[in-house]
Amino acid sequence: MATVLKTCLVAAGLVWALAAQTVQAEEMKRYVVEGSRAATLPSCVEPTELMRRQHMEFIKHQRIATVHEGIRKEKYGLSGCVDCHISYSAERIPQPINQADQFCGACHAFAAVNLNCFDCHASVPNGTPLDAAAAHEAAGVAAQVQSHRDGEDH
């Protein structure tokens, strides 16, 4: 009797462990926001696993090359991250990428890691005034972004 009980317990334990893992796998969130360009691509500039663990290293190396040597063509630029991972609201307004429900913001909130790139860097694609005007015109968001850029809404 005791053996049967033990077996049952072990079996139950195994089932629970398996189920828990499944649940965990389902809970493994995908932070790429639907509607962003990134959601349509198979992976980022490097395989996803690598990006998850090392994106900060890539960005850090890129920033030195860009600021000190003027190299703007490398693939790890922060503006590239923003361009690809940005999503737009129903009114075609770009959602700041560090917002709690957006790509950078959501994962950093989950991982409890401070995200201060966007204290200085643009959290929405906001090019040089000339380029930006054309891009926003094309995306139909000129009015919203324009007012934001000139600080009229502050």
Partner 1 sequence: MKDDNDAINSERRTFLGVAAGITAAAVAPGVILHTVAAAPRAEPVTSDVRWGLLIDTAKCVDGCSACVDACNHENGLNLQVMPAGESPQKWETQKAVWIRKIKLQDNQTGRVTTLPLMCQHCDDPPCVDVCPTGASFKRADGIVMVDRHLCIGCRYCMMACPYKARSFNHAEMHGQLTSVPRGKGCVESCNLCVHRRDFEQESTACVDACAAEGHHAIVFGDLKNPNSEISQLLNAMPSRQIREDLVLNTGVRYSGV
151 is a contact residue toward partner 1 (CB under 8 A)? yes
Residues that bind partner 1 (rule: CB under 8 A) add up to a total of 27
Contact 123, 96 (CB under 8 A): yes
Q: Identify whether the C-beta of residue 128 lies closer than 8 Å to the C-beta of residue 120.
A: no
Q: Coil, strand or helix: which one is 94? A: strand
Question: Is 29 or 151 the residue whose CB approaches partner 1 more closely?
Answer: 151
Nearer to partner 1, 21 or 89 (CB): 89
Does 108 interact with partner 1 (rule: CB under 8 A)? no
d(CA 42, CA 137): 29
**Interface ranges with partner 1 (CB under 8 A):** 63, 65-73, 79, 82, 119-122, 125-129, 132, 148-151, 154
